Amino acid sequence: MMEFTVIAFVFGLTMGSFLNVCIHRLPLGESIVFPPSHCPQCHTAIRWHDNIPLLSWIRLWGRCRHCLAPISLIYPLVELLAGLLTIQVLWHFGPFWQNLGLIALGYAFIILTFIDFRHYILPDVITLPGMGSGLVLAWGGWLHPPLADFTSALMGVIAGGGGLWAFGWLFQKITGKAGMGFGDVKLLGMIGAWMGWQSLPFTLFFASLLGSIVGIVWMVATHRNRSQPIPFGPYLAGAAWTYLFIGPWVVDWYLGKG
Ligand SMILES: [Zn+2]
């Protein structure tokens, strides 16, 4: 298992580099393949040995080698998260090929989380293919519990996407304020496609709880008022990811079957 863990971690770190490219370029509508990595300040191309996940950032103390502009802590953080997430799936679900889909889902959650925190959007280019791929994989029977079979996946898309859309519409009718963005609706549809409708109550409940706590702490700490937008995507993604590992157990316990 030790060598699997090392391989998984290095693979995750490397993929983390690519996730960074997506996080920084997708919201700007830029290509994720061209041009190669460059300093956001002086645009100097970054040589391969300065582009090694995690290590290069530490060695250069988070600065560009040429212009010494600070390089965001987001970069090594995303790489480390991707590495740890890959190990987490390996340890929890075992070294099987079919878990690569699950790892890809986790990477998509990382991209969406960081983009939503910064730009308050959840790009369709992630959520729609995310929803479609979940449905296709479930239809082919390639998803294994706690992921969805096809019926649960289909109901997940309808309940997740449709249910949240209806809730948002009603919220807006009653309060006159836009409650949730449609990005959140599509993300919940994507979660439903992969994890089935069974995952949605847990995901919505814990996302709301976590989002409220962080939102209140944030408002108190920064003295901002309630009109500031609060991204909901990161909490949906975090709660859904948590569901994979403890969700079915929590639901059983809650229903008194545990
Ligand atoms: Zn530079």
DSSP 215-256: HHHHHHHHT--TTS----HHHHHHHHHHHHHHHHHHHHHHTT
CB 51 within 8 A of CB 37: yes
What value does the mean pLDDT take over residues 223-249?
A: 85
Backbone angles phi, psi at 38, to 5 degrees: -145, 160
Distance 31 CA to ligand 1 centre (A): 20
127 C-beta neighbours (distance < 10 Å), count: 24
Distance 48 CA to ligand 1 centre (A): 15
| Band of residue 179 on the pLDDT scale cut at 50, 70, 90 | low
**What is the rounded CA–CA span in Å between residue 51 and residue 124?**
29
Ion ligand 1 — residues with CB < 5 Å: 39, 41-42, 64, 66-67, 69
**What is the rounded CA–CA span in Å between residue 39 and residue 53?**
15
Q: Is the pLDDT of residue 221 over 90?
A: no
| Band of residue 258 on the pLDDT scale cut at 50, 70, 90 | low
Distance 69 CA to ligand 1 centre (A): 6
What value does the mean pLDDT take over residues 158-172?
A: 80
DSSP letter at 148 equals: P
Q: Is the pLDDT of residue 51 over 90?
A: no
Q: Is the pLDDT of residue 128 over 90?
A: yes
Instruction: Give the pLDDT score at 226.
Output: 61
**What is the rounded CA–CA span in Å between residue 224 and residue 229?**
10
Question: Lowest-pLDDT range, 59-68, 104-113, 192-201, 216-225?
Answer: 216-225
Structure token pair of residue 16: 């983390």
**What is the rounded CA–CA span in Å between residue 165 and residue 169?**
6
pLDDT tens digits, 29-49? 888 888 888 888 888 888 888
What value does the mean pLDDT take over residues 62-85?
A: 93
Instruction: Give the pLDDT score at 20.
Output: 94
10 C-beta neighbours (distance < 10 Å), count: 13
| Band of residue 257 on the pLDDT scale cut at 50, 70, 90 | low
Instruction: Give the pLDDT score at 165.
Output: 77
DSSP letter at 98 equals: T
DSSP letter at 120 equals: S
Burial 68-79 (b: 16+ CB within 10 A, else e): eeebeeebbbbb
Distance 38 CA to ligand 1 centre (A): 8
Instruction: Give the pLDDT score at 134.
Output: 95
What value does the mean pLDDT take over residues 132-160?
A: 91
DSSP alpha helix (H) spans, 121-199: 124-139, 150-157, 163-175, 182-195
Distance 126 CA to ligand 1 centre (A): 29
Instruction: Give the pLDDT score at 136.
Output: 95
Q: Is the pLDDT of residue 167 over 80?
A: no
Mean pLDDT across the chain? 89
More confident residue, 111 or 174: 111
Q: Give DSSP secondary structure letters for 13-75.
A: HHHHHHHHHHHHHGGGT--SSSSPPB-TTT-PBPPGGG--TTHHHHHTTTB-TTT-PBPPTHH
pLDDT tens digits, 74-101? 999 999 999 999 999 999 998 888 899 9
Instruction: Give the pLDDT score at 231.
Output: 87
Q: Is the pLDDT of residue 135 over 80?
A: yes
- How many CA atoms does the CB half-sphere of 153 hold within 13 Å? 24
CB 143 within 8 A of CB 153: yes
Instruction: Give the pLDDT score at 177.
Output: 67
